Chain A
Amino acid sequence: MNGARPLAAGVVLAALVIASSATAQQSGAAPGSGRPIAIGSKPFGESYLLAEVFAQLLEARGHRVVRRLGLGGTDIIFPALQQGAIDVYPEYTGAGLLVILKAPPEPDASRVFDIVSREFRARLDAIWLPPLGFENTYAMSVRTETAERLGLRTLSDFARVSRELRAGFTADFIGRQDGLPGLTAAYGLAPRSVNALSPAVKYQALMAGSVDVIDAYSTDGLLARYPITVLQDDRHFFPPYDAAALVRGATAREQPSAIAALTELSGRIDVLRMRRWNERLEVNGDEIGRVARDALNELGLLAAATDTSAAGGAAGASESSLWTYLWGRRAEIGRLTVRHLMLAGVSLLLAVAVAVPLGLAVSRSTAAPAVVRGVGVLQTIPGLALLAFLLPLLGIGVVPALVALFLYALYPIVQNTVAGILAADSGAAAAAEALGMTSRQVLWHVRLPLATPVIMAGVRTAAVLNIGTATLAALIGAGGLGDPIVAGLALSDARMILSGAIPAALLAFAVDWCLGLVQLAVTPRALRSERLP
């Protein structure tokens, strides 16, 4: 029992040493002006598209870029910027004010920009480039027919007639203080009814006449598609969410020419343009590289020659079947699968190295239930929350992903180790002890071999869970099969999602089967049943 604790501590220490050296490697690549600019995005379509626009513009200006797209929300991507894991990403001033600075809301757009510019530069060493030219905020929207019939242009107009109208809002909006409750107070709204709608169906519900007003986002591609009128927020209830490139301070100092190139976009993208591009991306399913290229061409920022060839190449791909699509991406899928296996496998091995000795150490003591429960608590932390929690310690990338997966894998293994040891033939163990085995010998020669099938079952559970959970690693830029899943979800591209999900499912099957063979191999021969893995 005393021996297992230093061992567990040693494994954790080793993991941390690997972690810190890997972090050092990441930042070790930093200095030098030839360094590629790492461009990040949040995991939704518009953010992907803006990041891709940044990337292609920088490439056209002769800079090398690295794309680290689809990083989890503001809580993950901004620390990643501060730590230098990315150099720039598209952000919204309102989010900078409320989420990052945690400052009180401020209605005036230029004041918000002033505040975030000043505070980010002074306190956070990050630079807001001049805004791109559009806002993406809550957009209370009605059918144009309704607007014309009732003479609605503003939210104040809407408040006058709100008693006659039915609202369909997302649950998020209904609950948030800066959503419906605040809006109701600001304008004195009293809709006839408020229905909770999922974002996926709200436009259909509006156009079908099931509801009369919805909470859209001002740049939603679907706003361009339907005859919909966005009501003006004439009392400036919603904080301004001006889109802009947010740049790491050190990058701005080291690579001023790259930053200068990005400012070419400032003030050039108005809300109608952004809506149209979002529509191509999210509604029509056009390939993101192509939409970005066309956008830059539309802005006159690319030499026209680069356009035609690339656009032609992408056109065929969007019409091919799923299998052709998967086959066409086989090299990429293979690479992602290897990375995925590495993430799940290394974390699993570390977890086995810690959880089995821990389980053995505590199984015979009265502390066992407390330890198992304690490890179980780790399991209840949502994946994204754990990643966000680890971020200040370990940054983004492979290392925090490994640590998170390691923590998730502990529980089933500790649980099964304890259960297996306790369930091991107590008559045999008691007899062996009464005939002169030391308790260590009883553990090693009797309880552990008898518990191996149960312990291995725990390892298999952990492995399958890990392969599933490892798809979240994409949200912190660790790669793996989560990359196409996160991107596909953001871009509403089912084929892209499947190109990650199918290999992940097959990988889970394959790994479970292989571990079944291992389980058979480590189960004492006398205890093997005829069952195959």
Chain B
Amino acid sequence: MPVLSASNVVRRFGAVTALDGVSLDVEAGECVALVGESGSGKSTLLRAFNRVTEPDAGAIRVDGQDVRDVDTVALRRRIGYVPQDGGLLPHWSVRRNASLVPWLEARADAAAAADGALELVGLPAAQFGDRWPHQLSGGQRQRVAMARALAANPRIVLLDEPFGALDAITRSDLQQMFAGLRRRTGIAALLVTHDLHEAYLLADRIAVMRAGRIEQDAAPATLIGAPATAYVQQLLERAHVRPEGVR
């Protein structure tokens, strides 16, 4: 049973159809990258899974349950979430930020869970725990956002362009870090990115979106070797991704 499942999801914003009958599954432990240009609907689809966006039609299931049948707050607390800008609370310390979800769940070990998650993302709590977000670099802030998403040990994490605003070297470091922690935790991930290289590097499957529809949903090698549509082909060419071009 997929941990995340969208079937025939439609979402309109006024005259604009952001999602036009999209279906997508993410299996347990799997990392699926949603790739596409701005406005292709990839972030909207991601946000439908934690009910930040409500579909106009179709169904969203998490762990097999229709999200409309479960409490929204409880649903969100068991799904990790990393936005592009990190979204850290500027008035909370690094440790307090990381402990957000365990604290909301009133867990006694919230601070310990936060420290564990900070270790996992490469920020030793003893060194970074008491700092303020504004005292961190952009990459460090995204690591804290990642730790916050993972501290309550969710089985699923949603990442919305998590490395998009970082410089190339930092981005590469964080990608390595993310790949490593996925290996260790086996967490399922839905990763929204406009960067095909990143998708290729991190994902088990890539879904290419265009105008609210999925053009192709395939393993990276399949996608690159056999683009299903001219658009996918074009996207690959523009990104200079070729079968021999990637490692």
- Seen from chain A, the residues whose Cβ lies within 8 Å of a Cβ on chain B are 425, 427-428, 430-438, 441, 445-446, 449-450, 524-527
Residue of B nearest to A441 (CB): B104
Residue B179 lies at the interface, judged by CB distance under 8 Å to chain A: no
Which 5 A-B residue pairings sit nearest by Cβ, starting from the closest?
A: A431-B87, A524-B91, A436-B77, A436-B76, A526-B132
Residue B11 lies at the interface, judged by CB distance under 8 Å to chain A: no
Query: Chain B interface residue count: which class?
Result: 20 to 34
- Find out whether the CB atom of B101 lies under 8 angstroms from the CB atom of A436: yes
A427 partner, pick from B74, B83, B148, beta carbons under 8 A? B83
Residue B245 lies at the interface, judged by CB distance under 8 Å to chain A: no
Q: Which residues of B contact A526 (CB under 8 A)?
A: 90-93, 132-134
- Find out whether the CB atom of A434 lies under 8 angstroms from the CB atom of B92: no
Residue B230 lies at the interface, judged by CB distance under 8 Å to chain A: no
When A435-B101, A437-B104, A526-B134 are in contact, do A428 and B89 touch as well, CB less than 8 Å? Answer: yes
Residue of B nearest to A434 (CB): B81
- Find out whether the CB atom of A436 lies under 8 angstroms from the CB atom of B104: yes
Which parts of B81-129 form the interface with A (CB within 8 Å)?
81, 83, 85-93, 100-101, 104
Task: For residue B230, give the distance in angstroms from its CB to the closest CB of chain A.
Answer: 36
Complex Cα distance, B91 from A524, in Å, reads 6
Complex Cα distance, B100 from A434, in Å, reads 12
- Find out whether the CB atom of A436 lies under 8 angstroms from the CB atom of B83: no
Task: For residue B5, give the distance in angstroms from its CB to the closest CB of chain A.
Answer: 19
Q: Which residues of A contact B77 (CB under 8 A)?
A: 435-436
B83 partner, pick from A431, A445, A450, beta carbons under 8 A? A431
A434, A441, A525: residue with the most chain B Cβ atoms closer than 10 Å: A434
Inter-chain CB contacts under 8 Å: number: 70
When A436-B73, A436-B104 are in contact, do A446 and B52 touch as well, CB less than 8 Å? Answer: no
Q: Which residues of A contact B76 (CB under 8 A)?
A: 433-436
Complex Cα distance, B133 from A279, in Å, reads 71
Q: Which residues of A contact B47 (CB under 8 A)?
A: 434
Q: Which residues of B contact A425 (CB under 8 A)?
A: 89-90
Complex Cα distance, B159 from A435, in Å, reads 12
Q: What are 18 A-to-B residue pairs whose CB atoms are below 8 Å?
A: A427-B83, A427-B85, A427-B86, A427-B87, A431-B87, A434-B47, A434-B50, A435-B77, A435-B101, A436-B74, A437-B73, A437-B100, A449-B91, A450-B90, A524-B90, A525-B91, A526-B91, A526-B134
Residue B18 lies at the interface, judged by CB distance under 8 Å to chain A: no
Kindly supply a per-residue 1/0 record for chain B positions 8-35, scoring 1 wherever the CB is within 8 Å of any chain A CB and 0 otherwise.
Answer: 0000000000000000000000000000
Task: For residue A405, give the distance in angstroms from its CB to the closest CB of chain B.
Answer: 32
4 other A-B residue contacts (CB within 8 Å) besides A427-B83, A435-B76, A450-B91: A428-B88, A436-B73, A436-B101, A526-B90
Q: Which residues of B contact A438 (CB under 8 A)?
A: 73
Task: For residue B60, give the distance in angstroms from its CB to the closest CB of chain A.
Answer: 15
Residue of B nearest to A425 (CB): B90
Task: For residue B53, give the distance in angstroms from its CB to the closest CB of chain A.
Answer: 10
Residue of B nearest to A442 (CB): B89
- Find out whether the CB atom of B87 lies under 8 angstroms from the CB atom of A430: yes
Residue B146 lies at the interface, judged by CB distance under 8 Å to chain A: no
B92, B134, B145: residue with the most chain A Cβ atoms closer than 10 Å: B92
Residue B149 lies at the interface, judged by CB distance under 8 Å to chain A: yes
When A435-B76, A437-B104 are in contact, do A446 and B89 touch as well, CB less than 8 Å? Answer: yes
Task: For residue A454, give the distance in angstroms from its CB to the closest CB of chain B.
Answer: 13
Complex Cα distance, B160 from A435, in Å, reads 13
Q: Which residues of B contact A437 (CB under 8 A)?
A: 73, 100, 104
Complex Cα distance, B80 from A525, in Å, reads 28
Task: For residue B85, give the distance in angstroms from its CB to the closest CB of chain A.
Answer: 5
- Find out whether the CB atom of B149 lies under 8 angstroms from the CB atom of A435: yes
Q: Which residues of A contact B100 (CB under 8 A)?
A: 432, 435, 437
Q: Which residues of B contact A434 (CB under 8 A)?
A: 47, 50, 52, 76, 81, 83, 87
Complex Cα distance, B76 from A430, in Å, reads 12
A425, A435, A438: residue with the most chain B Cβ atoms closer than 10 Å: A435
Complex Cα distance, B139 from A290, in Å, reads 80
Complex Cα distance, B83 from A434, in Å, reads 9
When A436-B74, A526-B92 are in contact, do A428 and B87 touch as well, CB less than 8 Å? Answer: yes
Complex Cα distance, B93 from A214, in Å, reads 74
Q: Which residues of B contact A450 (CB under 8 A)?
A: 90-91
Residue of A nearest to B72 (CB): A436
- Find out whether the CB atom of B81 lies under 8 angstroms from the CB atom of A431: yes
Q: Which residues of A contact B134 (CB under 8 A)?
A: 526
Residue of B nearest to A438 (CB): B73
Residue of A nearest to B52 (CB): A434
Q: Which residues of B contact A527 (CB under 8 A)?
A: 90-91
Q: Which residues of B contact A524 (CB under 8 A)?
A: 90-91
- Find out whether the CB atom of B83 lies under 8 angstroms from the CB atom of A430: yes
Task: For residue B168, give the distance in angstroms from its CB to the closest CB of chain A.
Answer: 23
